[in-house]
Structure 1
Amino acid sequence: MMNTPLPVIDAHVHCGILDRSSPQSFEVYARQAAATDIGGVAIFSPVMEIYDRYDPSFVDTPAWRRRRMQSNAYLLSLKPVGHTVYPYFFIWNDFAVDQLSAAHCGIKWHRHADEPVYRYHDPRCRSALDEIRRRGLPVVLEEEFDHTVRFIRELADGIRVIIPHLGMLNGGFRSIAEAGLWAQENVWADTALADRSEIREYLSVYGHRRLLFGSDFPFGDPNSELRKVHSLQLDPAKLAAVLGGNFIRLQSRIDRS
């Protein structure tokens, strides 16, 4: 009996239709990935569909809340032929976990150093984390280094946290390693735009079971990012895990009830 190969899953893709700063609809992604064997896509909303990243004093409004709901609805509506879509809910300071559905496959938690901040002291933040924990949803966390450390050490007990880009935008691969975060069983990583040497080091020190392939479309190209992972010349079992098996295992622990 022949084993059916696991699909390649791109675990880091931004798609939307409200932010027109660059072509980033799913149709554009699908055209770029057409020459690959990518069969599954974890999709997040673009940042500018969630909050104004260029306004450090950003104040939420009903119009922005409607925009977030529209963006979320777009991701949930995607049913493309040839791809399995795994929609992630991009959470913001309204901590609207009441909008989570059984179709959601994870949480995107994202900001950069010069952007509006998450209100970690808001009681709704802890309540949202409790709901995320209850559902078993993984969290893709892109934050400043100090917030990343605090989130994982103090807030994310029992939550699987994916640090994207092998930590490039969370303080750097080395800083995350020195803080001991990569060694924690609930901390995962993705390869999106990461340096080959750091991917090799991660695999050598921490193994392959918590590493996911990602492209970071539209900032990264799925073709070239996939070629990068293939160029590491991993043995077939490890390659299959990074390209899709680990993601499937991550999804298998979500409570859909």
Structure 2
Amino acid sequence: MQTQPPVIDAHAHCGIIDRSWPQSFADYARQAAATDIAGVALFSPVQEIYDRYDAHFADTADWQRRRRESNAHLLSFNSDELTVYPYFFIWNDFAVEQLSTAHCGIKWHRHADEPMYAYGDPRCRKALAEIWRRRLPVVLEEEFGNTVRFIRELAQGITVIIPHLGMLNGGFRAIAGAGLWELENVWADTALAGPGEISSYIQSYGHRRLMFGSDFPFGDPFQELENVRRLQLAPAVENAVLGGNFIRLQAGVDHGTDRADGKRGIEGSGQ
């Protein structure tokens, strides 16, 4: 008899600098306590990474410091109730030298009216090569054209997770029309997605590359979890979506090196 996998929230934000939302780890843990969520993938809030309200944002030493502090904060949690899977939020300095063996993925994020990633910068390709080497999944939230380019051209061989079932990447149907959902390296999460889209995805593409996510603090972990459970999926399918798929994806991450130069880490991932 197979053991039921733990419930893992594959999409949540947690910050230390941005106070615009209640989004501390304590805030998340308090909401998750009303559920059977046992682990969570955490990303920094956008406003700790770049100024999303300045379309012509130019990076500074102070913003680089903020990013370091924010990303490092996610590595500091030690909880008996929740297993934390920290994701590194990458920006245009492409600072993969800050990756450690504890990192479990990459957050790559911008909206259409926000500062753009410097895809033409040679450091971008080098960063993607390091991400590929570490087998880190990338949660990609981008406008539609850049999503297609990223998956088809830039990130070949990298597992890409499209959040919200594509809601902010051009839409579920646009992603389907581009033939992305059917690709083996393209996954999705359910954060803030409607029941119709979740059901449609499973019917069309199966359940093995779909993961539950809450998008805390914008989504409520309890409510987002109930949205999946109300679909009354077959037990094996529900177990996979709520945690089994995330655990299987994380099993492929290479936690054996601690630096972008390939030198071995000392203590491993701690996961």
1:25 corresponds to: 24
- Name the SS for the 1:87 alignment partner: strand
Mapped partners of 2:36, 2:2: distance in 1: 17
Regions of 4+ moved over 6 Å: none
Cross-structure match for 1:128 = 127
Partner Cα separation in structure 2 for residue 90 and residue 74 of structure 1? 12
* Aligned-pair CA distance for 1:164: 0.1
Partner Cα distance (2:163, 2:113) in 1: 18
Deviation track 1:14-51 (CA, whole Å, cap 9, x = no partner) reads 00110011110010011111110000000000000000
**CA offset digits 1:185-234 (Å, max 9, x no partner):** 00000000001101000000000000000000000000000000000101
Aligned to 1:78: 77
Query: 2:3 corresponds to which letter in structure 1?
Result: T
1:203 partner SS: helix
Partner of 1:40: 39
Give the Cα–Cα distance (whole angstroms) in 2 for the partners of residues 44 and 242 of structure 1.
Answer: 20
- Identity value in percent: 74
Q: Secondary structure of the equivalent of 1:76?
A: coil
Residue equivalent to 1:175: 174
CA separation in 2, counterparts of 1:214 and 1:22?
18
Classify the secondary structure of the residue corresponding to 1:42: strand
2:123 aligned partner, one-letter code: R
Q: Which residue of 1 aligns with 2:198?
A: 199
Give the drift of 1:156: 1.0
Note the alpha carbon deviations across 1:96-123, whole angstroms, 9 max, x for none: 0000000000000000001000000000
Measured after TM superposition, the shift of residue 3 of structure 1 is 4.3
What TM-score do the two structures reach when normalised by structure 1?
0.99
Q: Distance in 2 between matches of 1:17 and 1:103?
A: 19
The whole-number CA distance in structure 1 between the counterparts of 2:217 and 2:34 is: 16
Tell me the matched-pair count. Answer: 256
CA distance in 2, matches of 1:17, 1:133: 29
Q: Which amino acid aligns with 1:83?
A: L
**Structure 2 spans left out of the alignment, 5+ residues:** 257-271
Equivalent residue number for residue 116 of structure 1: 115
In 1, the alpha carbon distance for the partners of 2:255 and 2:189 equals 24
Query: Equivalent residue of 1:77, what SS?
Result: coil
1:4 CA drift (Å): 3.4
1:238 matches 2:250: no
SS class of match (1:43)? strand
Q: Which runs of 5+ in 1 are unaligned?
A: none
For residues 41 and 254 of structure 1, the distance between their equivalents in structure 2, rounded to whole angstroms, comes to 16
User: Residue 218 of structure 1 aligns with which residue?
Assistant: 217
Determine whether 1:160 maps to 2:164. no
Distance 1:80 1:134 in 2: 29
1:178 Cα deviation (Å)?
0.3
Measure, in 1, the Cα distance between the counterparts of 2:38 and 2:254. 23
Counterpart for residue 228 of structure 1: 227
